[in-house]
C-alpha cells in the first residue's frame, strides 16, 4: 500500500468528525470514519418510541449559526421554528417574554411580565443590539468574565438575572450558576437575536444524516473502538492496526485526552431529559418554558410536537423536561419527583401524562467557564500527522463542531500537501 492509498482516519462519528470527513472527501482525499457506538451522529440522536421522536437530550439548531448555514441544507432538513421568546414561570404563573419585533401581539405581556425592571428591558435590548455588531471573530477576542459577572457589571437587576438569565443561559450551558464565559453568553444572545431556534421536522438526527449522505457508505465502521494512537495509524481494541496518511481524533473531550495522552480538557456537565406523552391541549405552545422561580429540579420544558407535528402521533403532544445535572435518585423516584413538579406547573392534567423515556447524559457538555479558547484558530497537529476536532479545547455546540471539522480538514490538507 502506497502512502497515497492509505486513507485519513477519523476517530469519532459525531458531527465534527463527519464534517471533517465530508470536507476531505470533496477534495478527493480518501477517508475512513471509526465510530465506537452502533450509530453515527454522536450525541445528536433521535429515537422512535410509540410514534414519538425523542431527541437524546433537548437540543435545537440555531438558524443563524454561520457554519451551519454554510454546511447544511436547511430546506432539506425542513426546519420548524420555536416561537421567538420564552414563557417564564414566576410565583407559579407563566408569563410570556417575546421578541417584540417578531411577536408584536405579545408586547403588552412582555412589558408587564415581572422578570425585572423597565431599565432591565432597555439593557436587554441594548445588549441584543451590541452583540450583533461586528464579526464573530472579534467577539471571541474580547475580555471575558463569567456570565454572572458580566451581567452584574452591565447593571442587570438580581430579579432579571435569576428569573431570566439563569434558567435561559443556564439551560444552554447546563450550569445553574451561569459561570460559563461571557463570550459564550454574547454569542448565544447574538444567535437568538439574528435567527431562530429550530428543529428538523423529523428530529435532530437528520443533521448528522445529512452529513452522512454526502459520503461513500464504505468509509464508515461502527462498533469499532480505538485503543491508542500508533506511529502512522491507530490500534483498535481487538488488536487490529490500521495505517493512515493522517489521523483526526473527533471524540468527546475525555476520550480525546485519553487517546492522545493530553491534559484533561476540563470538567463535564450533565443533563437529564425526561419525555412524557400527553393528549394535545389548547394551552400547548411552541414557546420554551423556563423556571424563573429557581425551585425544584426542572429548569426548562418544551413541547417539540408544537414545533414539528412529526414529533408525536396525531392528537398527542410530546413534553420534554430538562434537569441540570444528574439527580441522585432512582429512575422511578426521579419520574415521581418530576411528575409532582409538573403537577405544580400544569395541574391534574399531568396525572394522565405517560412517561416515555429518561435520558441521563453524564457528559452532555464540557464546562465552559473562562478562560475559553478562541474557536477561530486553525488546528495544529497534536502529534506528527495527528489532529483533533470537536470539543477538546474548543467550544461545544453544532456551530463549533462543524467549524472545527472544517478547520481540521484544512489542516490535514496542508499537512498532506507538505508531503505528510
DSSP characters over 19-70: HHHHHHHHTT--EEEEESSSSSSTT--EEEETTEEEESS---EETT-HHHHH
Summarised one tens digit per residue, pLDDT across range 260-281 is 888 776 688 999 999 999 999 9
Q: Which residue has the higher pLDDT, 294 or 308?
A: 308
Q: Are residues 156 and 147 in contact, defined by beta-carbon separation less than 8 angstroms?
A: no
What residues does 278 pair with on adjacent strands?
A: 317
Residue 183: pLDDT over 70: yes
Q: The C-alpha cell of 139 is what?
A: 467577539
Q: Average pLDDT of 208-217?
A: 94
Cβ–Cβ < 8 Å for 171, 324: yes
Domain ranges, ordered by start, for the chain: 8-44+205-266+372-417, 46-59+72-81+198-203+268-366, 116-195
Contact predicate 98/83, CB 8 Å: yes
What confidence score (pLDDT) does residue 317 get?
98
With a cut of 60, say whether residue 104 has pLDDT above it: no
Is 8-44+205-266+372-417's fold the same as 46-59+72-81+198-203+268-366's?
no
Superfamily of domain 8-44+205-266+372-417: FAD/NAD(P)-binding domain (3.50.50.60)
pLDDT band at 113 (very low <50, low <70, confident <90, very high): confident
368-381: pLDDT as tens digits: 999 988 888 776 77
Categorize the per-residue pLDDT at 366 as very low, low, confident or very high, splitting at 50, 70 and 90: confident
pLDDT in the model for residue 1: 45
pLDDT confidence of residue 29 = 96
Look at residue 163 and give its three-state secondary structure: helix
Spatial neighbors of 72 by CB under 8 A, at least 6 apart, are: 207, 210, 402
Instruction: Please name the CATH architecture into which domain 46-59+72-81+198-203+268-366 falls.
Output: Alpha-Beta Complex (3.90)
Distance of CA 274 to the CA centre of its chain: 17
| E strand map for 164-249 | 197-200, 220-222, 226-230, 233-236, 241-243, 246-249
Higher pLDDT, 263 or 362: 362
Write down the pLDDT at residue 288: 96
Q: Nearest CA to 197 among 304, 310, 123, 301? A: 304
**pTM, whole model, 2 decimals?**
0.93
Residue 5 pLDDT exceeds 80: no
| 190/103: higher pLDDT | 190
- Residue 59 pLDDT > 70: yes
Amino acid at each position: 500500500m502506497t502512502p497515497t492509498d492509505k486513507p485519513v482516519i477519523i476517530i469519532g462519528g459525531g458531527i465534527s468528525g463527519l464534517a471533517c470527513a465530508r470536507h476531505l472527501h470533496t477534495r478527493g482525499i480518501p477517508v475512513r470514519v471509526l465510530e465506537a457506538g452502533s450509530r453515527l451522529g454522536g450525541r445528536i440522536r433521535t429515537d422512535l418510541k410509540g410514534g414519538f421522536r425523542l431527541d437524546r437530550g433537548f437540543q435545537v439548531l440555531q438558524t443563524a449559526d454561520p457554519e451551519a448555514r454554510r454546511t447544511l441544507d436547511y430546506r432539506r432538513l425542513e426546519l420548524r421554528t420555536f416561537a421567538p421568546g420564552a414563557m417564564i414561570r414566576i410565583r407559579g404563573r407563566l408569563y410570556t417574554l417575546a421578541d417584540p419585533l417578531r411577536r408584536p401581539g405579545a408586547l403588552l405581556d412582555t412589558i408587564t411580565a415581572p422578570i425585572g425592571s423597565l431599565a432591565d428591558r432597555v439593557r436587554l435590548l441594548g445588549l441584543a443590539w451590541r452583540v450583533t455588531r461586528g464579526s464573530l471573530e472579534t467577539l471571541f477576542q474580547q475580555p471575558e468574565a463569567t456570565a454572572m459577572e458580566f451581567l452584574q457589571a452591565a447593571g442587570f437587576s438580581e430579579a432579571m438575572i435569576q428569573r431570566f438569565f439563569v434558567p435561559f443561559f443556564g439551560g444552554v450551558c447546563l450550569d445553574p450558576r451561569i459561570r460559563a464565559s461571557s463570550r459564550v453568553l454574547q454569542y448565544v444572545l447574538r444567535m437568538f437575536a439574528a435567527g431562530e431556534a429550530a428543529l428538523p421536522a423529523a428530529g435532530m438526527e437528520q443533521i448528522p444524516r445529512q452529513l452522512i449522505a454526502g459520503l461513500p457508505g464504505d468509509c464508515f465502521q461502527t462498533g469499532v473502538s480505538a485503543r491508542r494512537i500508533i506511529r502512522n495509524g491507530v490500534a483498535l481494541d481487538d488488536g487490529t492496526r490500521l495505517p493512515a496518511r493522517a489521523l483526526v481524533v473527533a471524540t468527546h473531550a475525555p476520550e480525546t485526552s485519553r487517546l492522545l495522552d493530553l491534559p484533561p480538557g476540563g470538567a463535564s456537565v450533565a443533563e437529564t431529559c425526561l419525555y412524557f406523552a400527553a393528549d394535545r391541549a389548547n394551552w400547548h405552545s411552541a414557546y420554551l418554558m423556563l423556571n424563573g422561580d429557581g425551585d425544584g429540579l426542572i429548569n426548562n420544558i418544551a413541547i417539540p410536537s408544537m414545533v414539528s407535528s412529526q414529533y408525536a402521533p396525531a392528537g398527542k403532544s410530546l413534553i420534554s423536561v430538562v434537569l441540570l445535572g444528574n439527580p441522585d435518585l432512582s429512575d422511578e423516584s426521579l419520574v415521581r419527583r418530576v411528575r409532582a413538579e409538573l403537577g405544580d406547573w400544569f395541574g391534574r392534567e399531568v396525572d394522565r401524562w405517560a412517561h416515555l423515556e429518561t435520558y441521563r447524559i453524564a457528559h452532555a457538555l464540557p464546562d465552559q467557564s473562562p478562560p475559553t479558547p478562541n474557536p477561530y484558530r486553525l488546528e495544529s497537529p497534536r502529534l506528527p500527522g495527528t489532529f483533533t476536532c470537536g470539543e477538546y479545547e474548543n467550544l461545544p455546540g453544532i456551530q463549533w463542531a462543524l467549524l472545527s471539522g472544517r478547520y481540521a480538514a484544512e489542516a490535514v490538507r496542508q499537512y498532506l500537501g507538505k508531503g505528510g
